[in-house]
Amino acid sequence: MPSDPALLAFVAAVFVLAGIVKGVVGLGLPTLSMGLLTLAVAPAQAATLLLAPSFVTNLWQMMTGPHLRPLLRRLWPLLGGACLGTLLGSGSLATGSRMAVAGLGAVLVLYAAVALRAPRLRVPRAAEIWLGPLIGIATGLVTGATGVFVVPAVPYLQALGLSKDELVQALGLSFTVSTMALGAGLGLHGGFASPMVMASLVALLPAMLGMQIGQRIRERMEPRIFRLWFLASLVVLGGWLALSAL
């Protein structure tokens, strides 16, 4: 547990900011926090600090709203595939290539740039039963290599034609399942050994405060503006991943 007041204040500010972004667009807390925290602490310490805030904020996001049961019935093929892919790929996280992270960032930027200028993609409802598991497994393998569970699950979820609030809740559901699967996979490889675990629990407070602020901002957004924010956030997160890997 760090005792430096300046460091504690910096960590709290990072999680408030990342929580606001997550509250508005439904994603970004781990990626944004990781990038900022590594300015002050070692990457391993930053990753440990993220454990509790990432899991609890995703769980909170998943539980906020009336759409959880319908989403579970609709998304179980994606979620099952994500669990399988993550467990299969989690062994590569410790030896993951920085080029894989850079490539993931580039894909995010490319997808968002195309989506900003092109009509929305649509996945036919009948295709979800077979496409969902494939997208889930691919997302899980990417998670196993990079620790980031965004591609291709987020573009897939956006292509389902969900409403603003349904999309945010679906992201929370997907990220919660992926976080649990990644935790199980890392546990199999002895990935939980750090004195920063208690600090991760303390970091929950600023993260949840920021997320609550972000949710209130989102409630006042028009769907068109939300979509622009959502895609712009993918550009920023993708650019951040690509640059951090150089």
Please report which confidence band the pLDDT of residue 125 belongs to, taking 50, 70 and 90 as the band edges: very high
pTM tops 0.85, yes or no: no
Please report which confidence band the pLDDT of residue 236 belongs to, taking 50, 70 and 90 as the band edges: confident
- Domain residue limits, the chain: 5-244
Looking at the chain, the whole-number percentage of residues with pLDDT higher than 90 is: 32
Please report which confidence band the pLDDT of residue 106 belongs to, taking 50, 70 and 90 as the band edges: confident
**Displacement of CA 236 from its chain's centroid (Å):** 13
Please say if the pLDDT value at position 220 is more than 70.
yes
Residue 111 to residue 231: CA distance in whole angstroms: 9
Residue 85 to residue 150: CA distance in whole angstroms: 13
28-66 pLDDT, tens digit each? 787 778 777 877 776 667 777 888 898 999 998 999 889
What is the per-residue pLDDT for 172?
93
What is the per-residue pLDDT for 98?
65
**88 neighbors 187 (Cβ within 8 angstroms):** no
- The length of the chain is 246
DSSP assigned state of 92: G
Of residues 237 and 21, more confidence is placed in 21
Look up tokens 């030896």; give the residue.
95
**92 neighbors 144 (Cβ within 8 angstroms):** yes
Closest among 232, 185, 194 to 27, alpha carbons compared: 232
With 0-12 / 13-18 / 19 or more C-beta atoms within 10 angstroms meaning exposed / middle / buried, residue 125 is exposed
